[in-house]
């Protein structure tokens, strides 16, 4: 695990894709211990740690843990108050608008109740291949986007882009199987194309504006490096 930041209250890591934040609550979905960030970070710092937000298993990037229960409560309040700004990078099917916002309600995973959800994005680059995938377009078209979720709903980015007909590449649950296969088999890009590149907030204890961000050239593991290096070569910007 690459450490992005650490002080007496917090530690931030670059979470590798394929790792879970914490063990699954249901025994039938048990995750190997060596693929759980909670245990890895606890072993790294030699004490209990407390996750203050989540990233999907397939998503890599900035993940923050508190180093005490009091610090965890404080950080969770910041996330609940929506004063924490998060930035992601993703590859989506099709050519999206240069900038736009997606304000579509999403159902809670626990009850199915629709709740407000807001995601803004800007397009960084596009790529087109002279290959027909499906029946709608004669070519395969993709966009690299920077994404700014203002709410933190379950699978928010993945679900929002799917609902505007621009699903994320590599998304097995909300994506397009044919385009996922093209990326995997023809381009050698496997897995979810979603990375948490930055988290910023006012540090509750020091009062400074803190920006925690990943590097485009330094990754926690070789698989993430290989995938995003290929993506960046596809989308020079």
What would the DSSP string read from start to end of 173-191? TTS-HHHHHHHHHTS---S
How high is the pLDDT of residue 111?
85
> What residues make up the domain containing 26?
2-234
Would residue 56 show up in a list of annotated catalytic residues for this protein?
A: yes
How high is the pLDDT of residue 36?
95
Return per-residue pLDDT of the chain as tens, 237 residues: 899 999 999 999 999 999 999 887 656 667 888 899 999 999 999 999 999 999 999 999 999 999 999 999 999 999 999 999 999 999 999 999 999 999 999 999 878 899 999 999 999 999 999 999 988 889 999 999 999 999 999 999 999 999 999 999 999 999 999 999 999 999 999 999 999 999 999 999 999 999 999 998 899 999 999 999 999 999 987
Which residue, among 34, 32, 52, has the nearest Cα to 43 in the 3D structure?
A: 34
How many separate domains does the chain show? 1
How high is the pLDDT of residue 134?
82
Inter-CA distances, 86 with 28, 43, 170, 178, 185, Å:
32, 27, 21, 30, 31
Which residue, among 15, 6, 17, 84, has the nearest Cα to 47 in the 3D structure?
A: 6
Phi-psi domain of 224 (left: phi exceeds 0; alpha: psi -120 through 50; beta: other): alpha
| CATH number, residue 103 | 3.30.2350.10
What the block records as the tokens of 78 is 């910041």
How high is the pLDDT of residue 152?
92
How high is the pLDDT of residue 26?
59
Which member of 7, 14, 43, 56 is catalytic? Answer: 56
């Amino acid at each position: 695990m690459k450490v992005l930041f650490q002080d007496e209250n917090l530690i931030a890591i670059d979470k590798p894709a394929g790792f879970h934040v914490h063990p699954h609550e249901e025994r039938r979905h048990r995750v190997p211990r060596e693929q759980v960030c909670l245990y890895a970070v606890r072993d790294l710092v030699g004490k209990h740690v407390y996750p203050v937000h989540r990233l999907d298993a397939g998503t890599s990037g900035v993940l923050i843990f508190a180093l005490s229960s009091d610090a965890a409560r404080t950080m969770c309040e910041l996330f609940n108050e929506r004063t924490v700004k998060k930035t992601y990078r993703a590859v989506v099917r099709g050519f999206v608008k240069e900038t736009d916002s997606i304000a579509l309600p999403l159902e809670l995973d626990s009850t199915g109740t629709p709740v407000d959800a807001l995601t803004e994005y800007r397009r960084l680059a596009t790529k087109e291949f002279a290959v027909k995938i499906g029946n709608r377009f004669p070519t395969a078209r993709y966009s690299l986007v920077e994404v700014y979720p203002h709410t933190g709903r379950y699978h928010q980015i993945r679900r929002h882009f799917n609902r505007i007909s621009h699903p994320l590449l590599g998304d097995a649950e909300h994506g397009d199987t044919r385009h996922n296969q093209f990326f995997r088999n023809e381009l050698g890009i496997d897995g979810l194309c979603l990375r948490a590149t930055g988290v910023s907030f006012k540090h509750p204890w020091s009062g400074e504006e803190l920006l925690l961000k990943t590097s485009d050239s330094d990754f926690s593991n070789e698989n993430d490096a290989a995938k995003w290096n290929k993506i960046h070569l596809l989308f020079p910007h």
